[in-house]
Amino acid sequence: MSLVSVHNEWDPLEEAVVGTALGARVPVADRSLLAVEYAEYAGPGRWQDVPTGPYPDRVVKETEDELEELCEELRGLGVTVRRPRARDHAARVRTPDWESDGYHDYCPRDGLLTVGNTVIETPMALRARWLESSAYRELLMEYFTSGSRWVSAPKPRLADAMYDPAAPPGERLREREPVFDAANVLRLGTDLLYLVSDSGNELGARWLQSALGETYTVHPCRGLYSSTHIDSTLVPLRPGLVLVNPARVREDNLPPVLRSWERIECPELIGLGYAGDVPHCSPWIGMSLLVLRPGLVVVDRRQLGLMRVLERHGVDVLPLRLTHARMLGGGFHGVTLDVRRTGTLETYRF
């Protein structure tokens, strides 16, 4: 029986991969990093100011402790938890077009997409993440031998011409080959939302549709959010109920498939702060929730206003903490990959 079975973002969670901060670093400031993450440093003479290199030991240790607390809570709820092994992210990766070091294995959600009984290695936007899926190779083999489908997207070339760091936000990935992070995608049964942004281009949406076939409809979301990943903009909580980012989501850019759903506007979030000089993401990372089942989500325990709003809508919270979510670039949704959830494939168009 396939160990991989996921149809949406909210069915009861049975198995998940939780990432690790061990060895995490900011990669060298190449054209991909400037386009996708640090465009404000793309001007002449500024790229040297990107804070590259290993994250502070304190950040890594505190994050590992908090990830282990998350794992313990999940196990206590009967969830099978898997972890990647630590790797040397200082090791160099070289192709005929470029050379880079690594990044981290903190966010398994970014590079692996589970849909039905299929796990997809996505063609990620950053060169430093070109071989990131190798951290999960043993797990992928185990899932494959259990009967799961294992699909790897065409490995992107990621040449200089793929990127335009000087372009307006949302237009810095060119349409030369399919490129997208798995975290650009949300699953709503037979409908998948795909964020067109600086971490996912139009060709990526076309490739994903062709890979999944006629059973699924991939909905490109344009003009919704220009930067990376969709989980700080929209959070499906259960059928017919979605948490939305009021700073980004408007009536004219809300995906049509969600227009009949009840919407909860996320309240102003508490600024989580960050170590170092440059945060990796905005305070909206506090919206990155992990839905454990309809009616129960993992939320950063500092976000009291968000917890109160969720509870008013019948959603209980499991308050935990990721102190360095802004620095490392991932909340509870990003640091996990749901591998198996109880449930069947349905369509949720009301």
331, 288 contact by CB (below 8 A): yes
Q: Classify residue 6: in a domain, yes or no.
A: no
| 2 assigned to some structural domain | no
pLDDT(274) > 70: no
Q: Structural domain tally of the chain?
A: 1
Question: Within a domain: residue 104?
Answer: yes
Band of pLDDT at residue 350, cut at 50, 70 and 90: confident
Share of the chain above pLDDT 70, in %: 96
Question: What is the CATH number for 213?
Answer: 3.75.10.10
Q: In angstroms, rounded to a whole number, what is the distance separating the alpha carbons of residues 119 and 148? A: 7
Q: Which of 324, 253, 334, 330 is nearest to 61 (CA)?
A: 324
Rounded to an integer, the average pLDDT of 110-133 is 97
Measured CA to CA, the distance from residue 67 to residue 87 in angstroms comes to: 17
What's the maximum distance between 2 C-alpha atoms anywhere in the chain?
Answer: 55
Could you tell me if residue 347 is inside a domain?
no
Give Rg (Cα) of the chain: 19
Is the per-residue pLDDT at 28 higher than 80? yes
Amino acid 280: pLDDT: 67
Indicate the pLDDT class of residue 40, thresholds 50, 70 and 90: confident
Q: Report pLDDT for 275.
A: 60
Please check whether residue 210 lies inside any domain of the structure: yes
Say yes or no to pLDDT of 104 above 80: yes
Domain residues for the domain of 127 are: 13-341
Q: Please, what is the average pLDDT of the chain?
A: 95
User: Are the beta carbons of 274 and 327 closer than 8 angstroms?
Assistant: yes
Q: For residue 335, with 0-12 CB atoms within 10 Å meaning exposed, 13-18 middle and 19 or more buried, which class applies?
A: buried
Alpha carbons 209 and 55: distance in angstroms, whole number:
37
Q: Is residue 235 included in any domain, yes or no?
A: yes
pLDDT value at 291 more than 70:
yes
> Following DSSP, what letter does each residue of 27-81 receive, concatenated?
PP--HHHHHHT-GGG-STTTGGGS--EEPPHHHHHHHHHHHHHHHHHHHHTT-EE
